C-alpha cells in the first residue's frame, strides 16, 4: 500500500471548502479536546464529531468494546463538527492523523482530494451492504472513502391538531400544489402554514435542497427553470403569509422552536428533533417532503462516515480497519444509530429499526430517497455552489431580487 506516499495538497482551497462544507447535523455542540498527540504502542486514536457523548455514554462504550475486540486501547476525542475537518487537515500536515476519523459526510470529498484519507478498497472496508445513495456521499473521483455510520435527513413534521381544525386531510398532501392548498386552509383557520430555515449559511442550502431537487433541478445549473420554480415556491409562501419572514434568519433550531409553539401546520426539520417533538407534547406526524409533481423529493443526506486517514506507518492500517469495521457492523449499527438518532445505512438494520419503532418508517423512506450534497462527482465544487445558492435564496426571499435574477447571478458567480 502506498497511500503514505501521496502528496498532501493541503491548500487554502481545501481549508476554504471545509469552512463552508459543514452541515447542521443532529449533533449538539460541546467542547472537544484538542489533544493531537500520536498514539503510543497498543493505543489507537479515534476522532469523532460527538462531543456531547461523555465517557459513560453508549457511544464511548462501543468504541471501547471495539478496541478490546481488536486487542488495543482506544483514545477517543470528540470535536465540534465545525472544527473537526480543519483539525483533520492540520493533523495531516503535521503527520499526526488519528487512526480512525468519523467525519461529516460533505467533508469527506474535501479531505480525500487533499490526500488525507485512504480509500475503502485500500483498507478492505466492506461497503457492499450500504445503500448506494448514502455511500455516494463519500465518493470522489470514482473512489469510496470510508463507510457511512448512519444517516439523517429532512422531512415535514405536521401538527395533527392544526390540520384537523383547518379541515385538512394529510393524505391529500402529495405534491407542491396540495401542500400549498393545505397551508391556505390553515391560514384561513387562523393558524400558520410552515416554518423552515433559509439562513445565509450551509443550513439554508441544506433546507432548500429538497425543493430544488424535488423540482428536478441540478446543482450544476442553478438558474434552470426547475430551480427557479423551487425558489418561487418559497417566495410565494412568504408573499402569501404561509411562511414567516423569520425564515431568513432561522436556524433549524429556531424554526423548530416556532413549530413547537403549536401554531404551525408544518415544519421542515430532521430526525434529531424527534425527542424535542415528544418533549413539546405535540400530536404530530411526519411526511417525506413531496416532489413538485408527487413522490418523495430527494433530501440531502446528513450523517457521518467512518474513515481511515493516511499514515506513514502502514502497519497501523490493519487494526484501524478492524476498528472501523466493528463500528459499522450489522451487530453494532442498530444500537449506534439509535444512540445518534440516525437511520441505519443498510436495509437490514433499517427494517430492525422500524420493527422496534414504527414512527421511524417515514424517516427510513426519506433516507432512501436522500442524496449526498457532494454526489454527482461535485466533491469540493459543492461548497462554492452551496454558498451561491444560499445567497440567491436570501436575495429572493428578502425581495432584493426576483428568483430568476437571483439564481442567474448565483450561476454566474459559480462559473
pLDDT in the model for residue 264? 98
Considering the domain architecture, whether residues 143 and 71 belong to the same structural domain is answered as yes
Query: Does the residue 139 lie in any domain?
Result: yes
Percentage of the chain modeled with pLDDT above 90: 73
Reported as a pLDDT band with limits 50, 70 and 90, residue 415 is confident
> In this structure, are 161 and 246 located in the same domain?
yes
Which pLDDT score is estimated for 18? 52
Asked whether residue 360 is domain-assigned, the answer is yes
- 328-362 confidence digits (pLDDT tens): 999 899 988 888 889 999 999 999 999 999 989 99
348 and 229 share one domain? no
In this predicted structure, what is the pLDDT of residue 391? Answer: 98
249 plus 395 within the same structural domain = yes
Domain annotation covers residue 243: yes
Same domain, 169 and 256: yes
Is 96 inside any structural domain?
yes
Show the domain range for 204. 154-299+379-414
CATH code (residue 243): 3.40.190.10
What's the CA gap between 400 and 308, in Å, rounded? Answer: 46
Do 139 and 20 belong to one domain? yes
* 168 and 145 within one domain: no
- Answer with the residue of higher pLDDT: 4 or 252: 252
Q: Please indicate, yes or no, if residue 374 is contained in any of the structural domains.
A: no
Cα 328 to Cα 134: distance, rounded to the nearest angstrom: 14
In a domain, 400, yes or no: yes
Res. 33: pLDDT tops 60: no
For residues 289 and 309, state if they share a domain: no
Question: 89-102, pLDDT tens digit by residue?
Answer: 999 999 999 999 99
Give the total residue count for the chain. Answer: 415
CB 328 within 8 A of CB 322: no
Shared domain for 392 and 243, answered yes or no, is yes
pTM for the model:
0.81
- Average pLDDT across the chain, whole number: 89
Q: Residue 286 pLDDT more than 50?
A: yes
Query: How many structural domains comprise the chain?
Result: 2
Report d(CA 311, CA 36) in Å as an integer: 14
- Pair (313, 272) in one structural domain: no
Q: How confident is the model at residue 379 (pLDDT cuts 50, 70, 90)?
A: confident
Indicate if the pLDDT at residue 62 is higher than 70. Answer: yes
Say if 42 falls within a structural domain. Answer: yes
Report strand pairing: 264-270 vs 192-195: parallel
Amino acid at each position: 500500500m502506498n497511500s503514505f506516499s501521496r502528496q498532501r495538497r493541503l491548500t487554502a482551497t481545501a481549508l476554504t471548502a471545509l469552512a463552508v462544507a459543514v452541515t447542521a447535523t443532529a449533533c449538539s455542540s460541546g467542547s472537544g479536546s484538542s489533544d493531537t498527540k500520536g498514539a503510543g504502542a497498543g493505543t489507537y486514536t479515534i476522532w469523532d464529531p460527538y462531543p456531547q457523548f461523555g465517557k459513560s455514554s453508549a457511544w464511548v462504550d462501543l468504541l471501547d468494546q471495539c478496541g478490546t475486540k481488536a486487542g488495543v486501547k482506544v483514545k477517543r476525542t470528540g470535536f465540534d463538527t465545525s472544527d473537526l475537518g480543519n483539525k483533520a487537515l492540520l493533523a495531516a500536515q503535521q503527520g499526526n492523523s488519528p487512526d480512525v476519523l468519523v467525519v461529516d459526510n460533505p467533508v469527506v470529498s474535501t479531505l480525500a482530494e487533499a490526500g488525507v484519507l485512504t480509500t475503502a478498497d485500500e483498507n478492505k472496508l466492506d461497503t457492499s451492504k450500504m445503500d448506494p445513495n448514502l455511500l455516494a456521499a463519500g465518493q470522489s473521483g470514482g473512489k469510496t472513502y470510508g463507510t457511512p455510520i448512519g444517516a439523517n435527513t429532512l422531512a415535514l413534521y405536521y401538527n395533527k391538531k392544526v390540520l384537523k381544525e383547518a379541515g385538512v386531510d394529510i393524505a391529500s398532501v402529495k405534491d407542491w400544489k396540495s401542500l400549498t392548498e393545505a397551508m391556505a386552509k390553515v391560514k384561513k383557520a387562523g393558524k400558520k402554514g410552515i416554518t423552515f430555515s433559509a439562513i445565509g449559511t450551509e443550513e439554508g442550502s441544506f433546507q432548500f435542497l429538497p425543493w430544488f431537487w424535488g423540482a428536478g433541478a441540478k446543482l450544476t445549473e442553478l438558474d434552470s427553470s426547475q430551480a427557479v420554480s423551487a425558489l418561487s415556491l418559497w417566495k410565494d409562501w412568504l408573499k402569501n403569509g404561509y411562511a414567516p419572514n423569520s425564515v431568513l434568519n432561522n436556524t433549524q433550531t429556531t424554526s423548530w422552536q416556532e413549530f413547537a409553539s403549536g401554531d404551525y401546520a408544518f415544519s421542515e426539520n430532521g430526525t434529531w428533533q424527534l425527542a424535542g417533538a415528544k418533549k413539546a407534547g405535540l400530536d404530530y406526524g411526519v411526511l417525506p417532503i413531496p416532489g413538485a409533481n408527487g413522490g418523495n423529493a430527494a433530501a440531502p443526506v446528513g450523517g457521518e462516515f467512518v474513515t481511515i486517514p493516511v499514515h506513514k506507518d502502514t502497519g497501523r492500517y490493519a487494526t484501524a480497519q478492524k476498528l472501523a469495521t466493528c463500528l459499522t457492523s450489522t451487530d453494532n449499527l442498530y444500537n449506534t444509530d439509535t444512540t445518534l438518532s440516525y437511520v441505519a445505512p443498510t436495509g437490514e438494520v433499517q427494517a430492525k429499526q422500524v420493527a422496534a419503532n414504527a414512527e421511524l418508517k417515514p424517516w427510513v423512506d426519506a433516507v432512501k430517497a436522500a442524496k449526498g450534497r457532494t454526489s454527482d462527482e461535485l466533491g469540493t465544487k459543492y461548497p462554492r455552489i452551496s454558498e451561491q445558492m444560499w445567497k440567491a435564496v436570501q436575495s429572493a426571499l428578502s425581495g432584493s431580487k426576483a428568483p430568476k435574477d437571483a439564481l442567474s447571478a448565483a450561476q454566474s458567480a459559480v462559473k
